């Protein structure tokens, strides 16, 4: 076994039990006990490698190889350690583990980076607790104002400010962090693919071209609470019937407009077996390769008055950087799918361009999933993403998976990219 493989196994085994539920899914919400354990783990891994750990105003963690304040801004790689409810092991942690291993690979090669390198672990990427995805990177770049962030409340009514304080982070310092942003010259995030684009291309690793425009909307369906056992059908104002209609309309609109639209979260009040609900709240997630399709879905649902909770336009990553890293990654991973020249749509991932003329390169794909990389890119930081093949395409589920060999190919591709960017 290579040192990289054994280190991969060690770190993976250490992370495995943290926040794992009975169904094998993870519950690693921001500023919880599990989150604190993951933060300690990150600090210990950084210390093991002699990296200097800082925590920014938003609560994101950075482990520096070299000093960006004296040697100039550096190349940052990393992802997040938090999860959706009952999430998979790979979404987030694979990027952090691969970043740490890429540092090991570069050092084993005797690499002397021309500029600092950092491994980052972003806070609250999934937004599972407070409802806003990429909260850590959005606070960092100022996209999410501090007062709005701190006032967000979780299901039990605890605010992010209270949760941060309980997690040992001072909410009074929260806000856009220019000192940290100045240290970042380039950001590269490695992530497990969340579709089957790489499976269809028979490639272990790919590079991202863009993140689809995407948003979240809340839909409130009001009715009249009443006793289920005594209220005649004709006298009912039952919002559960409105929910049923909404779910069907969302699916039909998505099909009609060529978008992805999902009702994944529902809250029923009072949610009693023998009570006609007073209110049903449903949340809509909608994305598409272009913004017009998303807006068309929303227009189709105008009757129920969706309230926008978040919106992110299309994020097109730095095209030159993507092409360059595609070529560099290809040297290590020896992708058998040499030159996919056609536009390939798998519903979720879209291969938009082949490699450069310089030799075997990895595919370049679009994705429907949002990432911290998208937030940093929007803030003007040259940003790229590497994807690692997901054999089933399943994500945000205990069944999310990536083969160990593909993960190791991702580590080496990432190391090559970091070397390219720190020549």
Q: Which of residues 240-269 bind its own copies (CB under 8 A)?
A: 240-241, 243-248, 251, 254-255, 260, 262-266, 268-269
- Work out whether 346 is an interface residue with its own copies (CB under 8 A): yes
**What gap in Å lies between CA 49 and CA 104, rounded to an integer?**
8
* Count of CA atoms in the C-beta half-sphere (13 A) of 256: 13
Q: Which of 133, 210, 351, 384 binds its own copies (CB under 8 A)?
A: 133
Exactly one of 102, 163, 276, 352 binds its own copies (CB under 8 A); that residue is: 276
Separation in Å, CA 296 to CA 240, 291, 304: 25, 9, 14
Q: Where are the beta strands (DSSP E) in 90-172?
A: 117-122
Helix/strand/coil (H, E, C) string of 346-365? CCCCEEEECCCCCCCCCCEE
Cα–Cα distance between 39 and 3 in angstroms, integer?
24
Nearer to its own copies, 81 or 348 (CB): 348
Among 158, 185, 199, 275, binds its own copies (CB under 8 A): 275
d(CA 380, CA 371): 15
Residues 98-127 that bind its own copies (CB under 8 A): 126-127
Angle, alpha carbons 282-370-194 (nearest 5°): 95
The DSSP secondary structure of 168-219, one letter per residue, reads: T--GGG-S--HHHHHTEEEEEEEEE-SSSHHHHHT-SEEEEEEE--EEEEEE
Among 272, 305, 336, 391, binds its own copies (CB under 8 A): 272
Residue (171 or 215) nearer to its own copies, CB: 215
Among the listed ranges 4-12, 31-39, 79-87, 166-174, the one in contact with its own copies (CB under 8 A) is 79-87
Interface of this chain with its own copies, residues 284 to 323, rule: CB under 8 A: 285, 287
Q: With contacts defined by CB under 8 A, name the span among 40-48, 80-88, 163-171, 377-385 that binds its own copies.
A: 80-88
Measured from the CB atom, the residue of 348 and 409 that comes closer to its own copies is 348
**Of 4, 180, 326, 395, which lies in the binding site for its own copies, with binding defined by CB under 8 A?**
395
3-class state of residue 257 by DSSP: helix
Distances, alpha carbon 51 to alpha carbons 74, 112, 119, in Å: 14, 15, 9
Residues 6+ apart with CB under 8 A from 282: 218, 219, 221, 243, 246, 247, 263, 265, 266
Binding mask 166-205 for its own copies (x = CB under 8 A): ----------------------------xx----------
Restricted to residues 357-386, the positions that interact with its own copies (CB under 8 A) are 367-370
Q: How far apart are the first and last CA of the chain?
A: 29
Among 99, 128, 160, 210, binds its own copies (CB under 8 A): 128
- What character string, x for contact with its own copies (CB under 8 A) and - otherwise, covers 134-173? ----------------------------------------
Residue window 219-238: x/- pattern of binding to its own copies, with contact defined by CB under 8 A: -----xxxxxxxxxxxx--x
**Of 107 and 265, CB closest to its own copies:** 265
Q: Which is nearer to its own copies, 189 or 238 (CB)?
A: 238
- Bridging pattern class, strands 117-122 and 61-65: antiparallel
């Amino acid at each position: 076994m290579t040192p990289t493989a054994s280190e991969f196994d060690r770190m993976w085994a250490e992370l495995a039990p943290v926040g794992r539920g009975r169904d094998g899914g993870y519950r690693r919400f921001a500023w919880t006990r599990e989150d604190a354990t993951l933060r300690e783990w990150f600090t210990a891994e950084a210390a093991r490698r002699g990296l200097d750990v800082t925590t920014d105003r938003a609560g994101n963690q950075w482990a520096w190889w070299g000093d960006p304040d004296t040697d100039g801004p550096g190349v940052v790689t990393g992802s997040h350690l938090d999860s959706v409810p009952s999430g998979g092991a790979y979404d987030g942690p694979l990027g952090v583990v691969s970043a740490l291993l890429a540092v090991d690979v570069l050092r084993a090669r005797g690499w002397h980076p021309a500029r600092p390198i950092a491994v980052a672990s972003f806070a609250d990427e999934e937004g599972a607790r407070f409802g806003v995805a990429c909260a850590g990177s959005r606070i960092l770049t100022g996209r999410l104002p501090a007062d709005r962030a701190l006032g967000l409340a979780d299901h039990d009514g605890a605010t992010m400010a209270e949760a941060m304080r309980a997690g040992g982070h001072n909410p009074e310092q929260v806000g856009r962090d220019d000192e940290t942003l100045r240290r970042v010259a380039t950001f590269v995030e490695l992530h497990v693919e969340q579709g089957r684009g790489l499976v269809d291309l028979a490639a272990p690793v790919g590079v991202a071209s863009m993140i689809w425009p995407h948003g979240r909307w809340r839909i409130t369906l009001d009715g009249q609470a009443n006793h289920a056992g005594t209220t005649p059908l004709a006298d009912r104002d039952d919002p559960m019937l409105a929910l049923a209609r909404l779910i069907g309309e969302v699916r039909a609109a998505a099909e009609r407009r060529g978008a992805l639209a999902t009702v994944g979260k529902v809250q029923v009040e009072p949610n009693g077996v023998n009570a006609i609900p007073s209110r049903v709240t449903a949340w809509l997630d909608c994305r598409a390769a272009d913004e017009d399709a998303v807006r068309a879905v929303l227009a189709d649902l105008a009757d129920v008055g969706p309230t926008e909770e978040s919106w992110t336009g299309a994020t097109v990553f730095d095209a030159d950087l993507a092409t360059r890293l595609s070529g560099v990654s290809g040297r290590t991973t020896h992708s058998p799918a040499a030159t996919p020249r056609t536009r390939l749509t798998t519903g979720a991932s879209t291969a938009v361009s082949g490699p450069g003329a310089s030799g075997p390169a990895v595919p370049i794909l679009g994705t429907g999933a949002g990432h911290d990389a998208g937030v940093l890119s929007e803030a003007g930081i040259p940003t790229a993403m590497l994807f690692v093949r997901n054999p089933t395409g399943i994500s945000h589920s205990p069944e999310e998976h990536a083969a160990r060999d593909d993960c190791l190919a991702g580590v080496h591709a990432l190391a090559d990219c970091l070397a390219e960017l720190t020549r």
